[in-house]
Amino acid sequence: MADNPLLSISFSIPFDEVRPEHVEPGVRQLVAQANERVETIAADSAPRTFANTMIALEKATENLNHAISVVRHLEAVATSPELRAAWNAVEPETSAFYSKIPLSEGLWKQLQAYAATDEAKSLSGAKLRFLTKTLDSFRRCGAELDAAGKRRLAEIDVELSKWTTKFSENVLDSTNSWELIIADKASLGGLPPSALAAARQSAESKGQAGWRFTLQAPSFTPAITYLDDAGVREKLYRANIARATEAERDNRPIIVRILELRREKATLLGFSDFADFVVHDRMAHTGARAMSFLEDLKARTDPAFARENTALEEFAGRELNPWDISYYAELQRRKLYEFDEEQLRPYFPAQRVVDGMFDIVEKLYGIRVEQRNGVPVWHPDVKYYEVFDHSGSGAGGVNGAPGKADRLLGAFYADWFPRETKRDGAWMDGFISGIETPERFEPHLGCVCGNLTPPVGDKPALLTHREVETIFHEFGHLLHHVLSCVEVKSLAGTSVAWDFVELPSQIMENWCWEREALDMFARHYRTGEAIPGDLFRKLVGARTYRGANMQMRQLGFGFVDLKLHREYDPARDGDVCRYARAILQQFNTAPLPEDYCMIAAFTHLFASPVGYGAGYYSYKWAEVLDADAFTRFRAEGIFSREAGGAFRENILSKGDSADPAELYRRFMGRDPDPNALLTRSGLQ
């Protein structure tokens, strides 16, 4: 198809032109092209050089990588039965192709031959790291296996791709299939006006009377938190914990199969379990160290966790059910701090929040963000922005070279509101990773997506404080991508160890708690007034409310993840949901129901061949880093250009061009102090 928009890389991606019928022929043509390039490298008899080996290998799949990122993105944000079918048709083929690259005996010999050259032995910096990591990656992907082992590994990868895609589809379909229509307004007591209006609008959009609730976060979260009617809360809760367990969309056998395949893959490659395989090249290095990290935090958190739970039950005056926890916790918080988070919504109109965030990063990092119209997008809600270097200081310039003020660093799309054709959650993704060498600079292209409270009627989208944090979090990932100044594309941006990748995102959330920062964007959507002083004090005072429970929730997810990937044996341990429920019970305030199966919708773990599988601990690991790193901003000023410049230079610009532990030490001058997180969480 000569006019297939997937066949070439364009910085202005023609999202409005990509059709489901482009996917199969386009991707198959690009797979064939990439395969030919890989085979050419493997058969090349010329002396090995960095250019004809390392760079050639990187470029071999560049067009295919780009097309896959575009199709996968559209399937996540604007899916249709036709697009899903097309993606499902080509995904096994692309997975098989990528899996066979490190299994190519000819290619492995070329890499080894290059590693033995004088040029390779003289490499330094990012080029040396690229060679070292490529050799290690090939070994970890089966380059040294025998022929039978390579065949089996390729089969595993294809099957993993198939089942993880099916897992994700089941979650989306299950979430979208459930709704609760409430006809009697009397059943909606306690629900904030904003959520009530959204529920009414949702019902009207479906041509129904009454108020409609779904399992999408902007609908589910306020309902489970504020509704006085325990019966309605229970219906919502039970539907949520049973997502993707229905007969036609049951993810439980899929989870077991994914775990089996991951375990077999790890064993085939010489690792004791999938956790050791995944964590090998991350900061934790072993599954045992990751588990030890979580166990230490749990031990430090347990006493406060017990106190908080006792206090909540005493406040409620009875033993609580799991659908009561958020409700009574909100009532208790209001009483203790006279604080209702809904009071903050009028001060957080979405566009003002976004614009204020841009002002903050301009102060910190010397960059300028500008919206640009007329660019093809996948939905009318999507906005497009360009990021310019506004500092003239050269922060992050390659090899310390001066930067160029007003140089285009990159661009990104922002898609913040939920749709039924869009998957749940919030995320950042990259479409194009640029490079910077002494000779040239190429800009970056990415996107940030969320499922935030949408506009209702003639009101703008008014967000919760937690949703504001989500915007800042995802934009932190985006900054890591667009501020990258690395001479090797494969090491640019967010292509870093997963227990380091959350540092740039999580540290951004800190500015959502600072008065000086909030005053830049938190303004009443009608009056323009800043958050009143007493309301701000209540917000900050309530920050550590049930801090132990918030910490234990994340630790529980980390525990169940590692135990599933290190210890679970279906023959011995039985039903995977019962196994997971027993682990998670230790981290929950109330007894979990027998049918509790949140892991059936745990897309972080099971919606991609690796994803956060055996790596969910990364959130807490990176939270230690971000809490500690922010102490430098506190000491030097939250808008300190010196601290911001150092963070840009040593963290945001470096990608994976150096060991993350060393990058952290360059910024802080020392290793991280875990006490910073405990202090921020009010646990010491």
In a domain, 506, yes or no: no
Which band of pLDDT confidence, cut at 50, 70 and 90, is reported for residue 404? low
In a domain, 659, yes or no: no
Residue 45: Cβ within 10 Å count: 4
Kindly state whether residues 231 and 372 are assigned to the same domain.
no
pLDDT at 396: 44
Is residue 82 within 8 A of residue 136, CB to CB? The reply is: no
CATH code for position 355: 3.40.390.10
Do 235 and 256 fall within a single domain?
no
Domain boundary among 242, 263, 283: 242
**Mean pLDDT, the chain, integer:** 95
Tell me if the pTM is above 0.95.
no
Q: Do residues 391 and 472 share a domain?
A: yes
| Domain carrying residue 220 | 178-242
- Reduce the DSSP state of residue 165 to 3 states and report it: helix
Cα 357 versus chain centre, distance: 19
Residue 12 forms part of a structural domain: no
Across 435-463, average pLDDT: 94
The CATH number linked to 588 is 1.10.1370.10
pLDDT band for position 498 (cuts 50, 70, 90): confident
Of the pLDDT bands very low, low, confident and very high (cuts 50, 70, 90), residue 2 is low
pLDDT, one tens digit per residue, over 503-518 is 999 999 999 999 999 9
Query: Residue 30's pLDDT is what?
Result: 98
The answer on pLDDT for 610 being more than 70 is yes
Predicted confidence (pLDDT) at residue 595 exceeds the cutoff of 90: yes
Taken in order 392, 396, 399, 400, the sign of the CA dihedral is positive
User: What is the rounded average pLDDT of the residues 232-250?
Assistant: 97
pLDDT tens per residue across span 654-681 = 999 999 999 999 999 999 998 999 999 9
Query: Is the domain of 52 the same as that of 121?
Result: yes
pLDDT tens digit sequence for 11-53: 999 999 999 999 999 999 999 999 999 999 999 999 999 999 9
Locus of tokens 């967000």: 463
Average pLDDT rounded to a whole number, residues 250-275: 98
**Which of 123, 144, 165 corresponds to the end of one domain?**
144
Does residue 166 sit within a domain?
Answer: no
Distance CA 348, CA 472 (A): 13
pLDDT > 90? residue 74:
yes
Select which of 386, 474, 623, 649 is catalytic.
Answer: 474
Residues 385 and 449 in one domain: yes
Strands (E), 163-315: 180-182, 211-213
392 pLDDT band (50/70/90 cuts)? low
- Do residue 379 and residue 472 come from a single domain? yes
According to DSSP, the β-strands at 367-371 and 180-182 are unpaired
7: in domain: no
Q: Give me the pLDDT at residue 552, please.
A: 97
With tokens 């600079």, the residue in question is: 441
Average pLDDT of span 155-164:
95
pLDDT of 458 strictly over 60: yes
User: Do 486 and 553 belong together in one domain?
Assistant: no
Tens-place pLDDT, residues 180-218: 999 999 999 999 999 999 999 999 999 999 999 999 999
Q: Which residues contact 474 (CB under 8 A, 6 or more apart)?
A: 426, 427, 428, 448, 449, 450, 505
255 has a pLDDT exceeding 50? yes
pLDDT band at 375 (very low <50, low <70, confident <90, very high): very high
State whether 277 and 184 are in the same domain: no
CATH code assigned at 58? 1.20.1050.40
Same domain, 204 and 258: no
Last residue of a domain, one of 571, 595, 616: 616
Please tell me the total count of domains within the chain.
4
Taken in order 33, 39, 43, 45, the sign of the CA dihedral is: positive
Residue 328 is assigned to a structural domain of this protein: yes
The band of 395, judged by pLDDT with boundaries at 50, 70 and 90, is very low
3-state secondary structure of 378: coil
Please report the pLDDT score of residue 136 as a whole number: 95
Residue 427: inside a domain: yes
| Whether residues 487 and 356 fall in one domain | yes
User: Which pLDDT does position 406 carry in this prediction?
Assistant: 86
Q: What is the pLDDT of residues 110-146, one digit of tens each?
A: 999 999 999 999 999 999 999 999 999 999 999 999 9
User: What pLDDT was estimated at residue 341?
Assistant: 87
Residue 444 is inside which H or E element, if any? strand 444-449
191 assigned to some structural domain? yes
Kindly calculate the radius of gyration of the chain based on its CA atoms and give it in whole angstroms: 25
One domain for residues 256 and 204? no
Our answer to whether residue 159 is catalytic in this structure is: no
> Distance between CA 268 and CA 142 in Å, rounded?
8
Residues 220 and 285 both lie in one domain = no
